[in-house]
Structure 1
């Protein structure tokens, strides 16, 4: 918000500067250089003496009057050849000089003008010019006045704009805080504004959008939770029926083919039961239930998580240093995330899986490496989506429902951490959990 307000101030100042340039350019094109007009006004007394006193003298008294002006004035009046005078002038000023006009040299605080065009003042006066120096010209004061004028205009614009935008700025800050809370999972939060507030219509639309999103998410969670719970009852009945059927097949004729089919159906039922448990776990993570925070020993928790893994064909290298200290969080949830990553590495690793951890400035880093095929960069964000599986995992050999990584990412996110995928030094995938200081 501060950046937005700062940009508004910069935009107004730039607009005023551009407007000042356009005004100066327009006046210069239509009425001449404003600075030259200011300088001409400051030298008006000397120009008046030259045009109304010296020039009005008779032909034989022109030089006498010019000398009298020299005696009483601080300005130095010299007669110089026209060729010398013309060398000091620009093209446009040279044309005005040739017409007999007074030409002001602001930088040198001087003026130039031909004595006359016909030589009537005295013999040879048509070949000379008057060069007046040390004129009382001070453009600095004029520029300061112009700058002050534009500064007052800028303040006159910025103050009303600032007062008018203050309510917008405050309202946008409220919207930003509500959006942050809503994005963090506080679905009940809403924007509280008065009908007279400037962005009240926008706040109302955001509230309607939040209501709709909350309703959809609650419906999804409720449906998922209800279906998962309801399906447990028929699963339990099927398990009981399969056990009876298996006993009958074993105690009867002992049909080997029938026993294999029953065993296959029991495996399918076990897989379905696991899926229901995973769905319930996802539903609990998406619910508004608070985490069960506790202080636990990191070294002990990580080593216990590694030891609880089922036996696998790949070797597991645990490099968790002693004395990592304690961490305040939901130990069960964090270890479940770590366990999901380890089991995923066991599935895809060829021969080796490594678990390592480190702690720096209170932040915790947990890394799981494997020497498997790895994960393509274009799919590293998608694998955290529920039910997303790489093509090579769509078989019974590797198993899985595409929920393990999603649960792990959600568990880490609830603690304010992050879960990233990189290429492992072992050649496969590297999953890194980063937890902020507790």
Structure 2
């Protein structure tokens, strides 16, 4: 947000600077160089003496009057060949010089003018020029005046813009905090503004949008929770009925079918449990904060894995210290990653962890087929499964990785997929300092 208003301030300052240059060059084009006008006013006394006193003398007295001016003037006045004068002048000033006009040399505090064009003042006067030096020209003061003028204009623009921007900035800060809270799961967060505030209409629309999102999420959450609970009752009845039926049936074929149906029912029950777990994580207070030992929690998570032909290497060092968070959710996230790795690994799964600057990094590697880069973001979506895992042999509902990703994000961490040194997939959990 600060970056936005900083850029706006820079834009305003650049606009004022560009406007100042445009004004200068426009005036220069239409009315002549304003600095030259200032210099000409400062040298007005010398120009007046030259044009109104020396030039008004008869031809035989012109040099005498020029010498008198030399004696009383603080400036140095010389007669130089016209060729030297032409060399000393920039090209754009030579045309005025050739017309017999006074040409001001601002950097050197001097001026040039031809004595005359026809040689009437004295013999050869048309081949000489008056060169006056050390004129009382000081455009520094003029430049300071112009700078002060533009500074006043800039302040006159920036102060109202600053007050106007400040009201917007405060309002946008409020909206940013509300967006952060809403994004963190606090669905009751709303922007409280007065109708007279500058961005009140935007805040009202955001509040309406938040109300709508909250209503939809609450409806979805309530529906998911209610349906899951309602499904549990017939599942329990079916489990009881299958147990009774299993005890009374003597036919082996029918008994196998009943066993298969019991497996389907168990799978359905697991799905309901996963859905309820997802619903709990979407609640307003999904985390149960506590201080727990990282080493013990990760090793306990590895010990709770079901038996498998795949070997598990646990490289969790002693003394990783404690972490403040929801141990149950983090253990479940790590367990889901380990069970997912067991499904697809060929022979080996590795669990490792380390701690740095208060944060915790947990890595799960396997030597399976890996996950293509194009699929690495999609596998965290609920019910999304790769093509090779759609058969019943691998099991799962496409919720394990989604639950793991949500559990990590609730702690402010990240879950990424990379290529494992073992050849398969690497799941990298990064938890920030608590």
Contact kept in structure 1, 2:54 and 2:66, CA below 8 Å: yes
Spell out, residue by residue over 1:96-149, the C-alpha distance to the aligned partner (whole angstroms, 9 max, x if none): 111100111111111110000111111111111111111111111111111111
Q: Match of 1:59?
A: 59
| 3-state SS, counterpart of residue 14 of structure 1 | helix
Q: What pairs with 1:86-101 in structure 2 (closer than 5 Å)?
A: 86-101=86-101
Q: Match of 2:24?
A: 24
2:316 matches 1:306: no
Which of residues 321, 326, 332 in structure 2 aligns to 1:325?
Answer: 321
Q: Match of 1:377?
A: 373
Q: Distance in 2 between matches of 1:324 and 1:428?
A: 27
| 3-state SS, counterpart of residue 45 of structure 1 | helix
Q: TM-score, normalised by structure 1?
A: 0.97
Higher mean displacement: 256-265 or 203-212: 256-265
Q: Match of 2:110?
A: 110
| 3-state SS, counterpart of residue 213 of structure 1 | helix
Spell out, residue by residue over 1:349-392, the C-alpha distance to the aligned partner (whole angstroms, 9 max, x if none): 11100000101121111110001111111211111111111111
Deviation at 1:434, TM superposition (A): 1.3
Aligned length: 434
Spell out, residue by residue over 1:275-303, the C-alpha distance to the aligned partner (whole angstroms, 9 max, x if none): 00100110111111352222221111111
Which of residues 321, 337, 344 in structure 1 aligns to 2:340?
Answer: 344
Q: Distance in 2 between matches of 1:84 and 1:36?
A: 22
Q: Match of 2:278?
A: 282
Deviation at 1:257, TM superposition (A): 2.4
What's the C-alpha RMSD, in Å, of the aligned pairs? 1.1
2:427 matches 1:436: no
Unmatched runs of 5 consecutive residues or more in structure 2 = none
Contact kept in structure 1, 2:368 and 2:425, CA below 8 Å: yes
Q: Match of 2:388?
A: 392
| 3-state SS, counterpart of residue 189 of structure 1 | coil
Q: Match of 1:188?
A: 188
Q: Match of 2:141?
A: 141
Q: Distance in 2 between matches of 1:233 and 1:395?
A: 28
Q: Distance in 2 between matches of 1:5 and 1:301?
A: 47
Q: Distance in 2 between matches of 1:125 and 1:347?
A: 109
Q: TM-score, normalised by structure 2?
A: 0.98
Unmatched runs of 5 consecutive residues or more in structure 1 = none
Q: Match of 2:402?
A: 406
Higher mean displacement: 292-301 or 15-24: 292-301
Q: Distance in 2 between matches of 1:135 and 1:55?
A: 19
Spell out, residue by residue over 1:187-238, the C-alpha distance to the aligned partner (whole angstroms, 9 max, x if none): 0011111111111111111110000000000000000000000001111111
Deviation at 1:249, TM superposition (A): 2.0
| 3-state SS, counterpart of residue 194 of structure 1 | coil
